[in-house]
Amino acid sequence: MQRTAVNPWDWSLKLGYNQAEIIEGATRQLICAGQTAVDADGNPQHLGDMRGQIGLALDNLAVVLGGAGMDLSHVTRLGIFATDVDEALRNFDLLGMRFGTVQNAPPMTLVGVTRLAIPGLMFEIEATACA
């Protein structure tokens, strides 16, 4: 699989993502449901702690990717939903740490929402991955 970044402007690179990517030669695509800060039984964790929720949501995303024989380097698109965008952005270094180690800056969208499906959750991340 070959990925070519498309960045007519460079401001998004400073925030850790490409404006777009051309994906060529991919043979498999994985569409992940939104991952949140829940344990293996679906119970919310880290209530009131955005940083903890982001970390666990990323851990859960990694587990789902692993189940398909992929990892964060295969992610080609992220959709992120947060009940407090400012607080999420203050903790976006977690995304940079996780995706930076695999040298991946997938296109992403961050959307502020009034609530998520499970009360107490503040952060949800969905992903598309290709291999």
Asked whether residue 2 is assigned to any structural domain, the reply reads no
Is 90 exceeded by the pLDDT of residue 120? yes
Main-chain dihedrals φ then ψ at residue 34, nearest 5 degrees: -60, 130
Q: 24: helix, coil or strand?
A: strand
Mean pLDDT confidence for 120-131 = 97
pLDDT band at 14 (very low <50, low <70, confident <90, very high): confident
Mean pLDDT confidence for 48-74 = 97
Mean pLDDT confidence for 77-95 = 97
| Cα–Cα distance, 81 to 34 (Å, whole number) | 9
Domain holding 126, by residue range, is 29-130
| Cα–Cα distance, 26 to 29 (Å, whole number) | 7
Asked whether residue 52 is assigned to any structural domain, the reply reads yes
- Joined together, the tokens standing for residue 109 give 């969208």
The CATH code of the domain that includes 65 is 3.30.1330.40
Are 13 and 108 in contact by the 8 Å Cβ rule? The answer is no
Asked whether residue 20 is assigned to any structural domain, the reply reads no
Is 90 exceeded by the pLDDT of residue 102? yes
Is 90 exceeded by the pLDDT of residue 26? no
Asked whether residue 54 is assigned to any structural domain, the reply reads yes
Is 90 exceeded by the pLDDT of residue 57? yes
